[in-house]
Chains A and B, each alone.
Chain A
Amino acid sequence: MIKSFRKNIKGIVIEGITLVSALLIIAIVIIMLTVIIIGGKDQLSWEFLTSFPTDGMTKGGIFPAIYGTALLVIIMSIAAVPFGTITAIYLTEYAKENSVIAKTIRFAVRTLAVIPSIIYGLFGLGFFIKFVGAHIDGAFFGGELKWGQPNLLWASLTMSLLTLPVVIVSVEEALKTVPQELRAASLALGATKWQTIRKVVIPGSISGIMTGTILAVSRGAGEVAPILFTGAAYYLATLPGLGDQFMVLGYHIYVLTTQSANVDQTLPIQFGTTCVLLLLTFILNMSAVILRYRIRKKKTN
């Protein structure tokens, strides 16, 4: 009797602790969002989104940072999505499940996924800038410094390496949702393997491939470390091209909060920029979730 009473208490306490930790998570999210939204909501305006910073970045908008972020994720996707998709196609459609090569590729992908993002930044600096860029300059520009320095292209390619595992894994998952019987049906009609992939497998998994792309983009949009050494700029008065450094939302927040001449004065802009970045990643993730939900629904039908 007494024992069971104790047991009962113990049960209640354990349940209580787990509940409190779970609630704590909700609280953290709510507090974070409230603070950011309250702090930033007055800042958000068409003006803020479309104009350049002014007065030593204590006033004005964040247009170049939005522009830079957009270009970064677009170029990154152009590099990472086809490369990742092709790799995923190799893994699911061509490689034998337990072959050494498939296992090695999967191991490499998992390893890429856990490498800290700052390491990617260092790798980008060493490989793209000091090696590839410097050799391009040596070969085509008589050693004049052109491509051997941080710029949008190298930063985007560095970022594409970081997002590659995300693309590969989600495209692989998407390809696997296409039933084996459909591949068999196509092959039995005299289609080649490539025709089957192109006309049955990829169309059947296109929304999954898009989900992977969006997830990769949203990961890339928020990361700062990989572009620190490879292209992110403190401030630019003009919009960047491929060979220029560029402003980007995540780094802009860092700059405003730590490097500004007057940090307190930039507070509203900090909040505003954070809001924009958060909104951007939120929208991207939401669309990925919606797409995924629609695929699941289609599959269960």
Chain B
Amino acid sequence: MIVDKINTEDMFLYYSSKMALNNISIKIPEKKVTAFIGPSGCGKSTFLRSLNRMNDLIDGVKIEGKVIIDNINIYDKNIDVVTLRKKVGMVFQKSNPFAKSIYENVAYGPKINGIKDKSQLDEIVEMALKNAAIWDEVKDRLGDSALGLSGGQQQRLCIARTLAVNPEIVLMDEPASALDPLSTAKIEELIVQLKENYTIVIVTHNMQQAARISDNTAFFYLGELIEYDRTKKIFTNPDKKQTEDYITGRFG
């Protein structure tokens, strides 16, 4: 049985008075990879950020409608954003490791959660790095600065850092857009592995990527969700003309 992990209902988002998301209703299944595609500026990142309330950091953002995760509307007044973000992790477009050691980057989240025991931290760090498929490359230099890693390694480290908090959902905003093909391939392979344990939502402007790794694909255009279906269906036989035009490269 497919369980809906995230469920938005009639969601609108405004930057000051400018509408950026127009009536989005979508059900995102658990332990699957869901891809958001669409031309740039159509609201993919905005929508992704509204799933862990990172939009709260932007002045003048107003949200209407519901974003339900595990039967709870995360925009309810009594929701603790900090707890929410532990459950819904995020990997950013530009890798953003802290100016700390590789180890400290991954241990950051667990430490914030109050884990102090050294052996327990070691274990979490190792697991996270293994899950992010970077353990073999860094296991001998955990104490080195994370800033000395290559771009692709930094991004996998950021994924490890997110996994170390033990989230249920991982949001990724074009996580491979700044990487070379080899690193991109590694990240894609990793994402497919991760869906075994995590619900993955990924924004990508690379349609081959969406086709390769996702189970479902949502096509956004001008702040609206135009079409949402099985990835196979979207890429072979979309219902909407706009979707077809976009995936065949006629615009965007």
Interface residues of A (CB under 8 A from B): 96-97, 179, 181-182, 184-192, 195, 199-200, 203-204, 301
Binds A, one of B35-43, B68-76, B89-97, B198-206: B89-97
Contacting residue for A179 out of B85, B86, B96, B161, CB 8 A: B96
Within B51-105, the residues touching A (CB, 8 Å) are: 52, 54, 57, 59, 82-83, 85-86, 89-90, 92, 94, 96-100
| Residue in A closest to B52 when the chains form the complex, CB atoms | A188
Known: A187-B85, A191-B112. A181 touches B54 (CB 8 A): no
A191→B59 contact, CB < 8 A: no
A190→B57 contact, CB < 8 A: no
B82→A188 contact, CB < 8 A: no
B59→A96 contact, CB < 8 A: yes
The 8 closest A-B pairs by CB, nearest first: A190-B86, A181-B96, A188-B90, A189-B109, A190-B85, A185-B96, A191-B112, A190-B82
- B216 contacts A by Cβ under 8 Å: no
Report the minimal beta-carbon distance from A97 to chain B, rounded to whole angstroms.
Answer: 8
A189→B94 contact, CB < 8 A: no
- B150 contacts A by Cβ under 8 Å: no
A185 to B108 Cα, complex, angstroms: 11
- Can you sample 26 A-B contacts with CB below 8 Å? A181-B94, A181-B96, A182-B98, A182-B99, A184-B57, A184-B96, A185-B97, A185-B98, A185-B161, A186-B98, A186-B108, A187-B57, A187-B85, A188-B89, A188-B90, A188-B162, A189-B85, A189-B162, A190-B86, A190-B109, A191-B82, A191-B108, A191-B109, A191-B112, A199-B112, A200-B98
Within B87-133, the residues touching A (CB, 8 Å) are: 89-90, 92, 94, 96-100, 108-109, 112-113
- B225 contacts A by Cβ under 8 Å: no
A230 to B142 Cα, complex, angstroms: 54
A187 to B147 Cα, complex, angstroms: 20
- B13 contacts A by Cβ under 8 Å: no
* Chain B contact patch, size range: 20 to 34
A190 to B94 Cα, complex, angstroms: 19
A181→B85 contact, CB < 8 A: no
- B165 contacts A by Cβ under 8 Å: yes
Residue of A179, A182, A187, A203 contacting most chain B CB atoms (<10 Å)? A187
B99→A204 contact, CB < 8 A: yes
Instruction: Tell me which residues across on chain B come within 8 A of A185, comparing CB atoms.
Output: 92, 96-98, 158, 161
A96 to B96 Cα, complex, angstroms: 24
Known: A184-B54, A195-B112. A189 touches B89 (CB 8 A): yes
A97 to B57 Cα, complex, angstroms: 13
Interface residues of B (CB under 8 A from A): 52, 54, 57, 59, 82-83, 85-86, 89-90, 92, 94, 96-100, 108-109, 112-113, 147, 158, 161-162, 165
Instruction: Tell me which residues across on chain A come within 8 A of B158, comparing CB atoms.
Output: 185
Instruction: Tell me which residues across on chain B come within 8 A of A189, comparing CB atoms.
Output: 85-86, 89, 108-109, 112, 161-162, 165
A35 to B98 Cα, complex, angstroms: 50
Instruction: Tell me which residues across on chain A come within 8 A of B94, comparing CB atoms.
Output: 181
Instruction: Tell me which residues across on chain B come within 8 A of A190, comparing CB atoms.
Output: 82-83, 85-86, 109, 112-113, 165
Report the minimal beta-carbon distance from B199 to chain A, rounded to whole angstroms.
Answer: 16
Residue of B108, B161, B162 contacting most chain A CB atoms (<10 Å)? B108
Report the minimal beta-carbon distance from A35 to chain B, rounded to whole angstroms.
Answer: 46
Instruction: Tell me which residues across on chain A come within 8 A of B99, comparing CB atoms.
Output: 182, 203-204
A204 to B145 Cα, complex, angstroms: 13
| Residue in B closest to A96 when the chains form the complex, CB atoms | B59
Contacting residue for B85 out of A97, A188, A301, CB 8 A: A188
A199 to B105 Cα, complex, angstroms: 11
Residue of A182, A188, A195, A199 contacting most chain B CB atoms (<10 Å)? A188
B82→A192 contact, CB < 8 A: yes
Instruction: Tell me which residues across on chain A come within 8 A of B57, comparing CB atoms.
Output: 184, 187
Known: A181-B94, A189-B89. A199 touches B54 (CB 8 A): no
Instruction: Tell me which residues across on chain B come within 8 A of A96, comparing CB atoms.
Output: 59
Report the minimal beta-carbon distance from A191 to chain B, rounded to whole angstroms.
Answer: 5
Known: A188-B85, A192-B82. A181 touches B92 (CB 8 A): yes
